Amino acid sequence: MADLLNGIIAAGGTTAITDPVTGDMLWDWIEAGAGRAAWHVAEQDGEIIGFQWIGPQDYLPSVACDIASFVRIGQTGLGIGSQLFDATQAAARDLGYAWINANIRADNESGLTYYQSRGFRTYDHWHDYRLKDGQVVDKVLKRFDLD
């Protein structure tokens, strides 16, 4: 998963994560959300080609979870994200969430299109959001109601 995500980070322009990650860092993220988070992976021939995560965030109400979706570069548009989201929706309901938040860079056209195609609707827009590396971007917040 770290290798997949680091490829996306290095390519730039789609994730707010700007520093490379390690497997240990991802494991820490998994453990930090225990009981209120869910992670799903897509594999092909033993290789992880995508993963999706949901979990709480401080800026969201307790009935909402945040989502992050990553598909290996060159593997997008093949239905991987759709299959991951089917599993993620079920997990969000099982965890007692009422809605899922997607926090997307405004310049990430593929991310905006992906979440829109899943039924997410825009409810907020953050202007001039500063990423960890100092880059300033706008963010679009979309929500998917689970009821």
Q: Please report, in tens digits, the pLDDT of each residue of the chain (147 residues total).
A: 999 999 888 877 677 788 889 999 999 888 887 789 999 999 989 999 999 999 999 999 999 999 999 888 766 666 788 889 999 999 999 999 999 999 999 988 888 999 999 999 999 999 999 988 888 999 999 999 998
Residue with tokens 């593929």: 110
The end-to-end CA distance of the chain, in Å, is 31
Rounded Cα gap, residues 40 and 19, in angstroms: 22
**Cβ distance 139 to 105 under 8 Å?**
yes
* Phi–psi pair at 78, nearest 5 degrees: -110, 5
What's the pLDDT at 96? 96
Helix (H) or strand (E) holding 23: helix 23-32
The tokens describing 140, both together, are 């679009």
Rounded Cα gap, residues 90 and 113, in angstroms: 22
What's the pLDDT at 77? 62
Rounded Cα gap, residues 71 and 62, in angstroms: 27
What's the pLDDT at 40? 95
Rounded Cα gap, residues 63 and 5, in angstroms: 27
What's the pLDDT at 75? 64
2-145 under CATH 3.40.50.300, yes or no? no
What's the pLDDT at 11? 77
Helix (H) or strand (E) holding 5: helix 2-11
Is the pTM value of this prediction over 0.85? yes
